Amino acid sequence: MTAQLLDGVALGQQLRAGFKQRADQLAAQGTRPGLAVILVGEDAASQVYVRNKVNACAQAGIHSEKYVFAPDVAPQVVFDKIAELNADPKIHGILVQLPLPRHFDADAVLEAIAAQKDVDGFRAENVGALMQGQPCFIPCTPYGAMKFLESAGISVKGKEAVVVGRSNIVGKPMAMLLMHAGATVTVCHSQTKDLKAHCLRADILVAAIGRPKMITGDMVKPGAVVIDVGINRMADGKLCGDVDFESAREVASYITPVPGGVGPMTITMLLANTLESAERSASA
Ligand code: GUN
């Protein structure tokens, strides 16, 4: 079997076409949706992600503002900017690109974002609401992964789902979303014994470890749906995921490629959350 591709560029474009209409409609009523993106430091990957987010906003009719700070900036400068953006009616979403430099308390920075503008869904309040099944905003990467399943008509109810990785940004919220959708969820991580045995039980396998090509075809159950959240740069400059695509695609029923899978969907769902925030603000 060769797996069908879950194409994040195509699905993203399809969804974003609808977003443009919603953004223009809101603007006609006096509320142009707005996103502020804060980048601290010079991490090359973060610079690319932020550029892609800002470009995606422009295409979707969403106003964006980018604030770039030097790696050694005093945290108070960033807190002051967040406070200013919290009070700015043109801004409906605030995103602080992670990781932050070591001298920052990342949790404190995320908590400084107003709850109604936390379009990443990273604040503790949002995380708690997600656990209760009532999130204000769903974190963009797991949200995008769920959209793949929904758009391909893949039923989650009663399935065995295995999430490899337990980060706050992906692994934990992904597990929660799959559980709410009716899957029986296992979360594996660096201390998991016999990772392969767990992966082989998965009808839906989500790889979010940050280790290039760690999940190989012999770890995939025949017919499984494989969602690869990893983006790793190889020595030759090429990008690859946490899944060994070539071997896994021969076993899986569906698989996301890297690049062109989860990455574009993360940005798409950021736009979705920003729009939703603007719509809430306009109808408040
Ligand atoms: N760094 C890696 N992924 C993300 C994300 O989804 N949001 C933010 N703010 N930073 C990230």
All domains in the chain, ordered by first residue: 30-115 (3.40.50.10860), 140-263 (3.40.50.720)
pLDDT score, position 136: 84
Mutate to test the pocket of ligand 1, among 47, 52, 66, 95 (most ligand atoms within 8 A of CB): 95
Confirm whether 213 is a catalytic residue. no
CA-nearest residue, atom 4 of ligand 1: 98
Confirm whether 97 is a catalytic residue. yes
How many angstroms separate the first and last alpha carbons of the chain? 51
CA 28 – CA 108 distance, rounded (Å): 36
pLDDT score, position 135: 76
Catalytic pick from 7, 81, 97, 242? 97
- pLDDT 10s digits, 57-104: 999 999 999 999 999 999 999 999 999 999 999 999 999 999 999 999
- pLDDT 10s digits, 33-43: 999 999 999 99
CA-nearest residue, atom 9 of ligand 1: 97
Q: Which of 59, 21, 4 is nearest to 268 (CA)?
A: 59
Where residue 159 falls (left for φ over 0; alpha for ψ -120 to 50; beta otherwise) is: beta
Pocket lined around ligand 1, Cβ cut-off 6 Å: 95-98, 120, 140-141, 169, 266
